[in-house]
Amino acid sequence: MDEIDKLFEKVLESNIFKNREALRPDHVPDYLPHRESQIMKLASIIAPAIKGARPSNVFMYGKPGTGKTAVAKYVLRRLKDKVKDSVITAYINCREADTNYRVLADLCAAVNVYVPFTGLSTAEVLRRFINGLESEGCLMIAVLDEIDALVKKSGDAILYHLTRINERLVKARLSIIGITNDLRLMEYLDPRVKSSLSEEEVVFPPYTYEELKDILQSRAEEAFNPGVLEDGVIPLCAAIAAREHGDARKALDLLRIAGEIAERNGDAKVTEHHVRLAQRELERDHVVDVIKTLPLHARLILLGLYVLSKDGKSTVTTGELYGKYRELCSKIGADPLTQRRISDLIGELELLGIIDAKVISRGRYGRTRRITLAISNKSLKEGLLQSNIALRGFIE
């Protein structure tokens, strides 16, 4: 029996999981502990939809992993159960659909209108969406998740149109549920958009350590077979996640990965040691995935940052990094982009959470960004190594 067969046997024989889907981030359970008040508030706002009336637009905010998406999906699911097909619902993640065009294209898909992924003007796509919705002739509730990513990248023009779309509709109606991680988003918005989008607001505070334990406990009962979790596992997952602004998604990921590691090893129980391993795997996987899909020049910037940090410079300025980037470009024979463009790419890397880039002023020595790595050197190295062979020579 070779290594692969052994692994398969172990997983096959393992009795760790009862239903691992219950721990996935997109799983919406039937019970959301410590979010009862947010659920009731959203439900009461949405309630008019049952009689076909248009609910107010809602704005929901809170840090990542505070249950915003889960609450929105849960309440919409309950609504759907009640009204069946007389209300159309759409869920759009604006981090994935991060241009005005793609958001509109997704909305079109929800009303069964096909649009090509490029080639049309946004105005045309908007027109098709309106026609599509009008011919459905009913209420639509659209969830725009991570709306901050959309606004930062593409502005609020589309939100302006969507909030005023009811003026152009005769039979149909549109309500918007906006979700954001970033409270400062409101400052960037056009006041007209701001007021119509936040007719109602629902706030999601971070989970406390105790609340995270409850959440993990209730999900663990769904996901694991009885008795496979050692006593310290849930508290440890909760403690790690509580340190990161009470992020329940992180806590659930930790628990799931820890279980999968135990499963692969053929262990009968999930222990705190598995959680520690999971913590490392989680960061590395995330970083590697993100870096692999980055365009070449963004990776060159990261490589530059890596090389500089090897030389003992843990924080660098835009200028220093740009110099190193140009040097690397000439070594691999790539045409360097201008500093203006690199400035934007640095902004994008920051949005992705790979680097921290804070704008600082150093008096007569100018304004710049103070750039530091937000991930471990090891993870970055791993990500760069896996992403492109041409870069390998520069990582020892």
Using CB under 7 A as the binding rule, whether residue 358 contacts DNA is answered as no
Count of positions on this chain that bind DNA (CB under 7 A): 42
Alpha-carbon distance 189 to 155, whole Å? 8
- Positions in 66-105 near DNA (CB under 7 A): 99-102
Residue 297 in contact with residue 284, Cβ under 8 Å? no
Question: Considering beta carbons, is residue 309 or 339 the nearer one to DNA?
Answer: 339
Closer CB to DNA, residue 107 or residue 241?
107
Residue of the chain from 13, 184, 227, 361 that contacts DNA (CB under 7 A): 361
88: Cβ–Cβ under 8 A, 6 or more apart, which residues? 110, 111, 133, 136, 138, 139, 140, 141
Assess 119 for contact with DNA (CB under 7 A).
yes
Q: Is 171 in the site for DNA (CB under 7 A)?
A: no
Q: Which stretch binds DNA (CB under 7 A): 35-43, 163-171, 196-204, 361-369?
A: 361-369
Shortest spacing between CB 153 and DNA, in angstroms = 8
Q: What's the CA gap between 139 and 174, in Å, rounded?
A: 6
Amino acid identity, position 234: I
Per-residue contact string for residues 288-307; x = within reach of DNA by CB under 7 A: -------x-x----------
* Signed CA dihedral, 341, 343, 348, 354: sign only: positive
306: tokens are 């890596």
Angle (CA) 368-370-371 rounded to 5° is 125
Select the residue interacting with DNA from 1, 30, 85, 121 (CB under 7 A).
Answer: 121
Q: How far is the CB of 328 from DNA (least distance, A)?
A: 15
Q: Work out whether 184 is an interface residue with DNA (CB under 7 A).
A: no
Nearer to DNA, 105 or 375 (CB): 105
Asked if residue 243 binds DNA (CB under 7 A), the reply is no
d(CA 385, CA 300): 12
Write out the DSSP string of 128-147.
HHHHHHHHHTSEEEEEEETH
Which residues contribute to the site for DNA (CB under 7 A)?
A: 99-102, 115-124, 154, 295, 297, 317-320, 322, 335-341, 343, 346-347, 359, 361-369
